[in-house]
A and B are shown apart, each in its own frame.
Chain A
Amino acid sequence: MKRRTAIGVLGGVAGAPVLMPLDEVGRMLAWREQVLASAGLAGGDGAASTNGPADGGGVQAPSLLTPERSRVMEALAEVIIPETDTPGASEAGVTGFVAALVDGWLADDDRDRFLAGLDTVDPACRERFGSPFAECAPGEQAAFVGDLDEELTRLREDPAADETQSFFHNVKRFTLTAYFTSEAGLDALGYRTTFRTFEGCAPLTPREAGR
């Protein structure tokens, strides 16, 4: 995480560590991020929250990631990580994770900003292309996401801006995490849980080499 991003976390955005997926060797970085993140938590959101974990027990209120929002999120995610010779984000089931974040993880103001951003997508696409995002042609979807991604890049390069405040920043990081921690995503990566030994300088597998 870049220093500027860390400051963004201190400012109250998504106060939690960036996932270091099952990887102990990245612990130092994770450690720093957790300290900064926790400082953000101590600053206000969260500590007084009464929201419990999304543990699946008992009667659950309907998700704030409504079917309409879920459709938009899933379609955006599929444009970011499309089905190729391996499953895409939609098949990997990204919306379950995003619903858990929206309902039980994001601080209220971050959640509201994210949902508000999601709610702008369909109206913008209707105006521009005549259809809600999920029903737009692939080229139209790519153009729309391309604009969002360009804007995100511009924010990232602007020292005065904080790109983590952008809703598309969250769309992208939720999508990547949901995909690469899903069963389908891990299978596609060729993820293995155990190894006979540790090799420090192993040749890439054909899959890793992109062949």
Chain B
Amino acid sequence: MTIPRRHLFHIRPRRQEYDAIIVGSGMSGGWAAKELTELGANVLVLEAGPMIIPERDYAEHLPTYQMPYRGWNDRKAVAAEQPIQGQCYACDEVGRKFFVNDIENPYTTEPDKPFLWIRGRQVGGRSIMWARQCYRLSDLDFEANAREGYGVDWPIRYADLAPWYDHVEAFVGISGRAEGLPQVPDGVFLPPMEMSCVEEHVAGAIDSAFGGTRRMTIGRTAVLTRDHKGRRACHYCGPCHRGCRTRSYFSSLNATLPAAEATGRMTLRPNSVVAEVVWDPGAGRASGVRVIDAETHDEMEFHARTIFLGASALESTRILLNSKSPDFPDGLANSSGVLGKYLMDHTMDVGARATFPGWEDRTTRGRRPNGIYIARFRNVTEPSPDFLRGYGYQGSARREGWGRGTSMPGFGAGFKSDLFRPGPWSFGIEGFGECLPREENHVALDPDQVDKWGIPTLRISCDWGDNERAMMRDAALQAAEMLEAGGGRDITIDTEMTPPGLTIHEMGTARMGRDPATSVLNAHNQAWDVPNLFVIDGASMASSGCQNPSLTYMAFAARASHYAVWAALRGEV
């Protein structure tokens, strides 16, 4: 991207008022920047971390032999600086620079309730390292809370969001296959990637074994299968999380921020840690934000007519909790008292793996940055007596590589030539399960701890509930049954859930709703209490669905941006 340097550095606060300040330059902040500037607004984008310059910072093609630890990561540095971030697969020897330093960015949990908060502070945020899977929510999700009495009813339905899914998908570029499944509605798709031989086979076997109630499709992913809006088609090198110089996968850095920059109406200020949103009691609105320069620790204020928080669910929540005033002693926009509560993530890592005899003369060619998806069937096409809602599976089948040699007997020329040949086909699938919104899963400001910039940190209290545990027991069993139906051998089942947080789908702590007494945001991601404040990231979610959520955040961010502009024109904001 070509952001002129004049926009990047040494911007001092001026009395100038922007039309909008956007806090966060990642998935949702990038969308707000694009939409607002294209509608004519002058925006200031504040990013807590440094600028990322793809030509300098992306390293997806760095060969393993140029890494000191050959991809095994700088284990001692990770243990010392990133003991939490290092648990994410993408925080690897090359990619770990895109994850925060845990010592500079502490938070606390209860001893028996680990929560792994995975964070990226840089221009582009976590959209640089995301796993790129894109699935729409449906009315099965938007109606679930009202139907079952959990949480609060979503103030919108699928019809409200569908045009915004269309809008963002057309720009993002998502490869996938239309399936006509109501629980994961079809979208605007680029050509799908191929399934592997074994995936095709098992997809067919599942279809017949379960009477058509379960559908495996190729993953829907924000990776280009053909050139799209000035970005190049994927070249299947593999490690997307280390960046992509051809901009073949979507990130704010690869796509929305350059679009905003092209309007000439975006000012981007990296190294700008937002401590709070400033409340103007006389005007009854937010007047700006208080910022601490990440490098100099200088404090300053920026002013705007509207404020958009897209700093990630928990960071946006933390900023609001820290924005205390006589009018809002428990945090800005928190007259309801629900700010920080109803934290959710998706369950993950429970599933099964099997090997598949056959197809010995075939293999996959290229490193597909995508897997397969098995759409949710529980409480859709097949009921479950044990739990509410459901889960989808993700996974992939490919031939094993040389790594299998570590646990194989043998050595010498024959052993070596064995390892030069692909190993057996191995197929693993894992369930991503919906998490119910529960009040006790919450975050609050820690009275005893601040981060490197003197800002109070979060205390996070979160655990899986009985519904999630029952759901994942079923997910492991059904995974094994499906692999067995496809002819899998040596099936192993994984039943251990990873702690919440690690799925990196944390959400829900400033939820939307229909009632200002029980929710923070209205149907337009607008704070009930503060008409010129919008929260456009995962904090706004009233329920989690089981779908990877970034696509939904993008749709919400675009929709809220358009709403804000029209509301401003009407004089309502």
Which A residues are closer than 8 A to B by beta carbons? Answer: 2-3, 5, 15-32, 34-35, 38, 41-42, 45-47, 49, 51-56, 79-82, 84, 86, 97, 100-101, 104-105, 142, 145-146, 149-150, 152-153, 156, 169, 172-173, 176-178, 180-183, 186, 188-189, 193-204, 207-210
Q: Which residues in chain B, 208-256, are within 8 Å of chain A measured between CB atoms?
A: 234-241
A-B contact pairs, 14 of them (CB 8 A): A22-B64, A25-B398, A32-B349, A35-B349, A53-B77, A56-B68, A81-B416, A82-B413, A105-B75, A194-B237, A196-B235, A197-B366, A202-B365, A203-B362
| Contact between chains at A186 and B65 (CB < 8 Å) | yes
CA distance A5 to B404 in the complex (A): 13
CA distance A42 to B88 in the complex (A): 15
| Contact between chains at A84 and B417 (CB < 8 Å) | yes
Once A149-B409, A176-B403 are accepted as A-B contacts, the answer to whether A105 and B80 lie under 8 Å apart by CB is: no
Which B residues are closer than 8 A to A by beta carbons? Answer: 61, 63-65, 68-80, 83, 86-89, 131, 193-197, 199-200, 234-241, 349, 351, 353, 359, 361-371, 394-396, 398, 401-403, 405-407, 409-413, 415-417, 419-422, 428, 430, 492, 494, 498, 502
CA distance A183 to B67 in the complex (A): 12
CA distance A172 to B404 in the complex (A): 11
Chain A contacts for B405, CB-based, 8 A:
172, 176
Once A21-B64, A101-B69, A176-B403 are accepted as A-B contacts, the answer to whether A204 and B86 lie under 8 Å apart by CB is: no
Chain B contacts for A153, CB-based, 8 A:
409
Chain A contacts for B371, CB-based, 8 A:
25
Chain B contacts for A3, CB-based, 8 A:
492
CA distance A45 to B75 in the complex (A): 11
Chain A contacts for B64, CB-based, 8 A:
21-22, 181-182, 186
| Contact between chains at A16 and B65 (CB < 8 Å) | no
Q: What is the distance, in angstroms, from A85's C-beta to the closest C-beta of chain B?
A: 9
Q: What is the distance, in angstroms, from A200's C-beta to the closest C-beta of chain B?
A: 4
| Contact between chains at A46 and B76 (CB < 8 Å) | yes
| Contact between chains at A149 and B74 (CB < 8 Å) | no
- Residue in B235, B396, B409 whose beta carbon sits within 8 Å of that of A25 in the complex: B396
| Contact between chains at B406 and A195 (CB < 8 Å) | no
CA distance A51 to B78 in the complex (A): 12
- Residue in A18, A55, A202 whose beta carbon sits within 8 Å of that of B68 in the complex: A55
Chain B contacts for A20, CB-based, 8 A:
71, 403
Chain B contacts for A26, CB-based, 8 A:
398
Chain B contacts for A201, CB-based, 8 A:
194, 196-197, 200, 359, 362, 364
Report the 3 A-B pairs with minimum CB-CB distance, sorted nearest first.
A200-B194, A46-B79, A195-B366
User: Which interface residue of A84, A105, A198, A207 has the most chain B CB atoms within 10 A?
Assistant: A198
| Contact between chains at B421 and A208 (CB < 8 Å) | yes
Q: What is the distance, in angstroms, from A99's C-beta to the closest C-beta of chain B?
A: 11
| Contact between chains at B420 and A16 (CB < 8 Å) | no
Chain B contacts for A38, CB-based, 8 A:
83, 86-87
| Contact between chains at B76 and A178 (CB < 8 Å) | no
Once A182-B65, A196-B235, A201-B359 are accepted as A-B contacts, the answer to whether A22 and B89 lie under 8 Å apart by CB is: no
Chain B contacts for A28, CB-based, 8 A:
349, 351, 394-395, 428, 430
Q: What is the distance, in angstroms, from A46's C-beta to the closest C-beta of chain B?
A: 4
| Contact between chains at A21 and B71 (CB < 8 Å) | yes
Chain A contacts for B403, CB-based, 8 A:
18-21, 176
CA distance A195 to B236 in the complex (A): 6
| Contact between chains at A24 and B75 (CB < 8 Å) | no
| Contact between chains at B413 and A84 (CB < 8 Å) | yes
| Contact between chains at B86 and A34 (CB < 8 Å) | yes
Q: What is the distance, in angstroms, from A153's C-beta to the closest C-beta of chain B?
A: 5
